[in-house]
Structure 1
Amino acid sequence: MTRPLLTARLVPYLPLGLFAALGAVLAYVWKLPCRTGGWNNSIQTYANFCYTDIYPLYFDRKLVTENPYFADVPFDKQVEYPVVLGEVMQVIAWIARGLAPPLEAGPAALDRAAAAQAVYFYDITVVLLGLCLVVGVLLMAAVAGPSRRWDALWYALAPAVILAAYVNWDLVAGALSMGFLLAWSRGRQVAAGVLLGLAIATKFYPLMFVGALFLLALRTWKWRSFLVSMAAAAAAWLVVNVPFMLLAWDGWRRFYVFSQERGIDWGSPWLFFERKGWPILGTMDPSLLGMLSLGLLCLGIAVLTMLAPRRPRLAQICFLALAAFMMTNKVWSPQFVLWLVPFAVLARPNWKPLALWQVAEVWYFFAIWLYLLYQDESSRHLGIGDDVYFTAVWGRVITILIMMAFVVRDILRPDKDVVRQAGIDDQGGGVFDRAPDRFSLA
């Protein structure tokens, strides 16, 4: 490809990259009230709506002195994330230790040096996450294609994205997931598989995309491409996981044990049923209940895919599967919105339901910190109680169900799909794009 042609193809992405950088900066500015001293005071953190896991986990997971997975610390203090994310934290911790003053003798000096390291750790992490947001937006725009490139603005500047961007490290998995989708759309199955395997080794939710690929491979009979990508994904996952499985088994399995043993937590609809004491829904084992609910929803998605008069788009199935996973999970943290935004927009880029959902996500973002303030006797007057908090929980559920209903309608009536109305079949489908149906229950 000649340089002028390459430049002409890249120039349209420059404004989107700048908007994504603006979103990253706005997210950093939002956290400034805490960065200047509020992290050591949970009440101040919640009252300023600037909580982040990044700073406290630097201490709680012993990153200030230890290495994840290999740390000689109690099991409940080990890093509870898959290995790619854990090693991202490790590398940034090394850099922070090198930049900040060394730890000195004496409790006061030690505390000052450790706090300085933690601020470096936070700032460097934010730079990385900001870059991941920019990359994710550009990759999403490339997947959307020239006619719908500007849909990626939702990922760059959506209010809930700005508020939740730096709560945790989820943007790393977001960039890898968008990379997987772009590679698949360009017919690069090996690269798509490698990126998918790395995404699953970063955060677990990209595993839901395997089911979407399987269903469309079943419908089109494009098994070779599917199997090549799955083999590459498995190989990539094993390459980054096996060394830790062999050398640090307890540290490696912490994520899986924590996910299995974790009870119902903030944001989950199951918490509402538990607090209200509903029969079955509020008393049944949450892990079993969540798996049963997710299984039923995934079965419904599979039937829908096979019954649709026209093969659904890959982004539509990924969105439905990911939304089902989030709504049935035992925990639904504020930053999970980062998982869903790009797939929701690619599945159905209609501003009205997206805006309604953003309102619900923004309300939940504020509600969870107000609710946590209410849990402390000294700050109860600043917070909100159960009834108000659960309006935010159900607001998210209802608005996502509305978007899912529209996507289901578009699948059953492809003429209503705003993407396909422009003459596009499946811009992210890769080998599925314009592929004839080979197997269908329609």
Structure 2
Amino acid sequence: MTAAAPERQDEGLSGGALALAGGPLGRHASARAASWLATVLPLLVAAALTMALSVVQRSHCIQKGWAGSDQFWHGCFSDLPSLYQLGRLHEGLGSYLTASGTTSDHPVLSGSLLALLGGLVPDGAFLDQTRWFVLLWAVVATACALGIVWLTAATRPRHAALAAHVALSPVLLLAAMVSVDLFGVVLVSAGVWLWARRRPLAAGVLLGLAVTARTYPLLVLLALLLLGVRTGRLAAVGRALLGAVVAVAVVLVPFLLGNPGAVLRSADVWWQSAPGLGSVWLLPQLVGLDPLPPGLATLLSIATGVLALLAGTVFALRPGPRPTLAQVSLVLVALVLLTGKAFPVQASLWLVPLVALCGLRWRDHLVWAGAEALHFAMVWLYVAGLSTPDRGLPPGWYAVFLLLRVGGVAWLVVRVWRGVAAVPAPREPAPTAYAPVDEDVAEGEVREDGLDDDELAGDFTGAPDRLLVRIT
């Protein structure tokens, strides 16, 4: 029994409503929809349970507060309480829109969400206020997690069970409550889903909104552009980029008028900061050498980031089987994370839906997640040890676990890179071919028309390769 969803999203309509819309679904389509829902609904329940466990994992801090090093010893640290206090988020969204009010080091859409949640916190003791703020985010984060699971399954409806990589991910459990990154991730997931449904303008709007919440969606837009260059379908990519530019402009206009400093605040903080936790540029300091100055770390991060983008470009344009949007995005995002000046634990959430959409095996997911879990535990012991050296993790040992995490992320890149290379190259279609997606083709199977089974292709479906780059 297949686990595919029909292209028409009308399984929730009554028979009468369906008749008005053109008639009820046929017998086979109805069975397909029921099968898809039977796969997805348990995954939604699993995602809700994962998020509940993520809150339980913070129970010590919820009870005792987030002051001092106790939060590190118990592994329940979160950025949210300090953001609430230092950013004056209790003043609400209206204050955030003015230069003299609430502040946030996050991109403006994430900062707006934080300010909105802060405005909902009732008056009371400071600890009670921070509890309210964290639990309000827990509600929003759970909604985001459920949305990511649903969108992942809808993006690859013939393989909806891949959404289990999101619902059951140890990375989701550990990192969802650290910061508000899930907000950007759900926007990216919605944008990729809309692209797969051949709605490039709407996809661009969602990805543009995601850019104002996190920075990594720029890499997803770059992946779209690279695949557009490869296929020659630049018109569709152009509509997506136009939607993204319009969305970014609409979000930024209120801040340019009322609080222009908020637009560049996160970039300024990054530019001036020293290497952060999780970054390979922290290693000299961890092994007893002089720490890298912020300027040099910034320069090295930019230089190696450019090399990462070049590697992603080679992956997208090399001869052979065409990689999917998720595969190119994962390679770009992972390599940029590995070369960045900071790689906080919550940034790994960016990779979770991409792992699912790439169809990686659970073995590969757990190799990576295991490295993430070890690093998650040890980074807090290292931070706590900065104030209590005799109890904390020595810097040299933290360097070991940092490198282990780097190896886990690199493992994902290698598996995606080699996995695409291992797929037999399909027979080249005729230049005019523009075949629809075939619902009955199994994953990895080469179809008679020469088109691979790419549920994320969107407007690239059926397009022959127009530009390839061969490295000799």
Residues 247-262 of structure 1: matches in 2 within 5 Å? Answer: 247-262=258-273
Q: Following TM superposition, by how much is the alpha carbon of 1:116 offset from its aligned partner in structure 2, in angstroms?
A: 2.4
2:406 pairs with 1:389: no
Deviations 1:184-237 (A, max 9, x none): 000011110110000000011111111111110011100111000100000001
Displacement after TM superposition at 1:33 (Å) = 1.0
Shift in alpha-carbon separation, 1:385–1:226, aligned structure 2, 3 A: same
Q: Residue by residue, what CA displacement relative to the aligned partner does 1:267-292 show, whole Å, maximum 9, x if unpaired? A: 10110034447799899711111111
Partner of 2:413: 404
CA deviations over 1:159-193 (Å, ceiling 9, x no partner)? 22201110000111111010011000000111101
Is the Cα–Cα contact under 8 Å of residues 274 and 282 in structure 1 kept in the other structure? no
2:146 to 109, 134, 138: 134
Aligned residue runs from structure 1 range 316-335, under 5 A: 316-335=327-346
**Residue 85 in structure 1 maps to residue 110 in structure 2:** yes
Determine the structure 1 residue equivalent to 2:90: 64
- 1:252 to partner: Cα distance: 2.7
Quote the residue 1:434 is aligned against: 462
Residue 78 (structure 2) aligns with? 52
Considering only aligned residues, what root-mean-square deviation do their CA atoms show, in Å? 2.4
CA distance in 1, matches of 2:133, 2:116: 10
Which residue in the other structure is 2:173 paired with? 162
Work out the number of aligned pairs and report it: 422
- Alignment check: 8 A CA contact 2:89 2:118 kept: yes
Aligned counterparts of 1:440 and 1:262: Cα–Cα separation in 2: 39
Mapped contact 1:315–1:346 kept (Cα < 8 A): yes
What SS does the aligned partner of 1:39 have? coil
Which structure dedicates a bigger proportion of its chain to helix? 1
Give unpaired runs (5+ residues) of structure 1: 102-111
Residue 234 in structure 1 maps to residue 245 in structure 2: yes
- 2:274 match: secondary structure: coil
Q: Counterparts of 2:81 and 2:295 in 1: how far apart (Å)?
A: 35
Q: C-alpha displacement at 1:123, in angstroms? A: 1.1
Q: Distance in 1 between matches of 2:279 and 2:348?
A: 13
Matched, 1:30 2:92: no
**Is 2:321–2:424's contact at 8 Å kept on the other side of the alignment?**
no
User: Do residues 13 (structure 1) and 59 (structure 2) align?
Assistant: no
Specify whether residues 419 and 124 from structure 1 end up closer, same or farther in structure 2 by C-alpha distance, changes over 3 A only: same
Q: Is the 8 A contact 1:308 1:411 kept in 2?
A: no
User: 1:177 aligned to 2:204?
Assistant: no
Kept in 1, the 8 Å contact 2:187–2:207? The answer is yes
Equivalence for 2:434 = none
Residues 274 and 294 in structure 2, CA contact (< 8 A), matched pair in contact too: no
Tell me by how many angstroms 1:438 deviates. Answer: 1.8
Distance in 2 separating the partners of 1:416 and 1:439: 16
Instruction: Note if contact 2:109-2:251 (Cα within 8 Å) is conserved in structure 1.
Output: yes
Task: Tell me the alpha carbon deviations over residues 5-35 of structure 1, each in whole angstroms, 9 at most, x when there is no partner.
Answer: 5773544321111111111111111111110
Deviation of 1:359 (Å): 0.8
Cα offset for 1:248? Answer: 0.9
| In structure 2, distance between residues paired with 1:394 and 1:347 | 24
Give the fraction of aligned pairs with identical amino acids, expressed as a percent.
29
1:420 aligns with 2:444: yes
Q: Is residue 2:221 matched to residue 1:210?
A: yes
Residue 421 of structure 1, CA deviation: 4.2
> C-alpha deviations, 1:354-378, integer Å up to 9, x for none?
211111000000011000111003x
| CA shift in 2, pair 1:46/1:231, >3 Å | same
